[in-house]
Copies of this chain bind each other. A is one copy, B any other.
Amino acid sequence: MENDMTEPGSRRRVTIREVAERAGVSMATASRALSGNHPVPAATRARVLRAARDLDYVANAHARALVGGGRKMAAVVVRQVTSPFYAQVAEGVEAEAADRGWLCVVGATGGDPQREMEFVQLMREEGARLVILVGGVVEDEAYRERVAHYAQALDSTGARLVLCGRPAPDPEIPALVVEFDNEAGARAITGHLLSAGHRRIVFLGGLPGNTALDARVAGYRAALAEHGLPPEAARVVDCGLGRAAGLRAMGELLKETREFTAVVAGDDMVAAGALRAIADAGLAVPADLSVVGYNDIPLAEDFNPPLTTVRTPAEELGRAAVRIALRDPEHAAGSHHLLGTHIVVRRSVAPPPTDGGLTPV
């Protein structure tokens, strides 16, 4: 089971003892010169460094962490790294961690809570000091229990827990949450559509229980209300996220009714699916139908047409997560940070066809 590797790791490594001997000092002095934890006269240090270089000495991070009581390591956990949005968040975390000399490991769960738990456990063993869980979830009982467990478990090993784009089930829990202001973003982009003259707007991609999406739906409804529309004017299709979902739901919706002139998608990927479904139905965007997305993934401007969407600076989210976690240790428990977003106008929105004479406000 283990023998699929003919131990190449068995080569003996140079230890600090050998460096010390070659430099003619004790291990203690060598250690101090190498790690810089304690001042050492320049001449001595030079001698040690020289010896280390000559011998190609490589410090053993494990020994260091063992005696030093841990190490600077952060972990990001996402559903999948191939999702453009998650990849950007992970990159932000990695970058911010690297800036501080921290090591960063990323874990992909594929959306499986089981793997998520295993990974958290692994990070406990590895001595991670920061675990960042990224991505929206539906907040059910199982989720609450899971997070409560993580928080307790990580706290007991002295690690900090950050929830990115997902809720803390209980303000008492020692976790930090950092996320975008989904409601404000959805309100703004829906307002953009309303300002262009649209009145019958559907929200495609709800996912009841998913706090991020629920917040976007709330923002969408709020915008409608702000423009004096009755609550019945809202129409939300709970098809969930992903290109496939958008493609199917949009296809079905178009078969059922044409009583709408614009759609706000739950995110850019469902917008991608919707765009295709609309094209397949022989309709044009934005001439016949306007559509907007959410997240502004890198390829959104290559959609057909280029997508008007809400820019959520994903990399900044990742950076903020580690920055805040490391800076505000006091506020970590129950602290909640909201990041702002803004609209990126491209070419997927036009005034509605029926009142084409209207000038956009």
A interface with B by C-beta (< 8 Å): 4-11, 13, 56, 58-63, 65-66, 69-71, 80-82, 84, 87-88, 90-91, 94-95, 100, 103-108, 121-122, 124-127, 129, 153, 155-160, 243, 272, 275-276, 298-299, 302-305, 315, 326-327, 329-330
30 A-B pairs within 8 Å (CB atoms) are namely A5-B326, A6-B330, A8-B159, A8-B160, A9-B129, A10-B69, A10-B158, A11-B155, A11-B158, A60-B125, A61-B125, A61-B126, A61-B127, A62-B62, A81-B91, A82-B84, A82-B315, A87-B87, A91-B108, A94-B107, A94-B108, A103-B105, A103-B126, A105-B105, A243-B302, A272-B302, A275-B302, A299-B299, A302-B302, A302-B304
Question: Is A129 in contact with B5, judged by CB distance below 8 angstroms?
Answer: yes
Closest 4 CB pairs of A and B: A304-B304, A9-B158, A11-B158, A62-B65
B-chain residues with CB within 8 Å of residue A243 when the two chains form the complex: 302
Distance A345 CA – B20 CA, assembled complex (angstroms): 64
Alpha-carbon distance A65/B60, docked complex (angstroms)? 10
Q: How many copies does the complex hold?
A: 2
Is B298 touching A82 in the complex (CB atoms < 8 A)? yes
* B124 touching A58, Cβ below 8 Å: yes
**Known: A62-B62, A302-B299. Is A103-B127 also a contact (CB below 8 A)?**
no
A10-B69, A84-B84, A299-B302 provided; 17 other pairs, C-beta below 8 A?
A: A8-B160, A9-B69, A9-B70, A9-B158, A59-B125, A60-B66, A60-B127, A61-B62, A61-B126, A62-B66, A62-B71, A66-B66, A81-B87, A81-B106, A103-B105, A106-B106, A302-B302
